[in-house]
Amino acid sequence: MEFIQFHPTSLYSPGENPSFLVSEAVRGAGAVLKNLFGDEFMHKYDERGSLAPRDIVARAIDNEMKLYGHDYVYLDCRHIDLDFFKAHFPNIYDKCLSKGIDITKDMIPVVPAAHYVCGGVRVDMNGCSSIINLYAAGECSCTGLHGANRLASNSLLEAVVYGHRAAMHAIEAVKTQDIKNEIPDWDSHGTAAPEEMILIVQSQRELQSIMSNYVGIVRSNIRLKRAFDRLEIIYDENERLYDKTTLSVRLCELRNLITVAYLIIKMAMARKESRGLHYSLTYPKHSIYQD
C-alpha cells in the first residue's frame, strides 16, 4: 500500500471534500495556476510553470496555501476559448456552473487531492492478488505499468485491460469454486445500537484529517510518527466500540479505513527516499522526478 497518487487540481467547495477532479488536461489546454492575489506562482517551483508534472504542481499548491494561510488557489481558464472548453471539458464546465462559477469571468478554486490507495495491491497478469479469489484493477492495483508518477493514460490502461482480464479469469475460476451455503447468520448477541453515532462520525473525520495533514502531499518522519501514534488511539477506541456495538455499514467502513491507513503509514515509514509523488522532507536529496 505504499503508492500514493495526487491529482493537483480538485474543485474546492467550502464544507465539502474535494471530490470533483479538474482534469490535468485543462492545464495542458492553457489554464494557469494563480494564488488568491491573482499572481502566477508555478514559475517559482519549476521552469515549466503550470505544465509541470503533477507531483511538483501538488507540492507547489500545498506550499502556497501554507505560505499565506489560504484554503485554496485558483486555476485561471478565462483566456481559453469557450467553445473549445465546452467541447473538451463539458462535465467540468457544467460542474463549475452548478457552483456559480462562470469560467469566462471567474477563476476556479482548486486544491490538491490525494488518492491514497493508488497502486497498492500487487496483482498478476489476471488481476489476482495474493488472497485467493480477490481481484484488484484500476487505481487500487500495483501492476508495474506505472512508476512513481503515474498519469491518467496508465490508469485507463489498468482499468480497462486489467479489469477485462480479471473479469474473464473470474468467470472461469468461479466454475471450480465450492460455494459455502451453511454459513450461519451474524450473531449480534450482547451488542447494542450505538448510543451516539457521533463517535463513529468524529473518528472518521479525525482519520481523514490525520491522513491529509501528515501522510498527504508532503511527508516527513516526524509527521508519519505522529500519524501512527494518533491512529493507534483511534484504532483502540474503535475496537472497543466494535466489540459492543451492533454491526453497521458506517462502523465497518471506519474499521476498514483504519486498517488501510495503517498499511499506508507503515509502508511510507519504510521508504527512505523521495521519488516522484512519494515526497518526504526527511529525504529530499534522493528525489527523482522523472520516474
Q: pLDDT averaged over consecutive 10-residue blocks of the chain (291 residues)?
A: 48 66 89 95 94 86 89 94 96 92 94 67 93 87 74 70 94 91 82 78 92 86 96 94 86 93 91 81 65 39
- Would you state the pLDDT for residue 38? 94
AA identity, residue 65: M
Q: What's residue 173's pLDDT?
A: 94
Domain boundaries, the chain: 5-114, 121-176, 198-270
pLDDT at 248: 85
54 given a catalytic annotation: yes
User: What architecture is domain 198-270?
Assistant: Up-down Bundle (1.20)
Class of domain 5-114: alpha beta
pLDDT at 291: 39
**Euclidean distance between CA atoms 109 and 35, whole angstroms:** 10
Residue 12 sits at the vertex; the CA angle it makes with 9 and 17, to the nearest 5 degrees, is 100
Query: Residue 54: which residues within 8 A CB-CB, separation 6 or more?
Result: 5, 6, 7, 8, 24, 149, 151, 277
Given the residues 27, 48, 54, 78, select the one marked as catalytic: 54
Q: Tell me whether the CATH fold assigned to 5-114 matches the one assigned to 198-270.
A: no
- What pLDDT was estimated at residue 288? 43
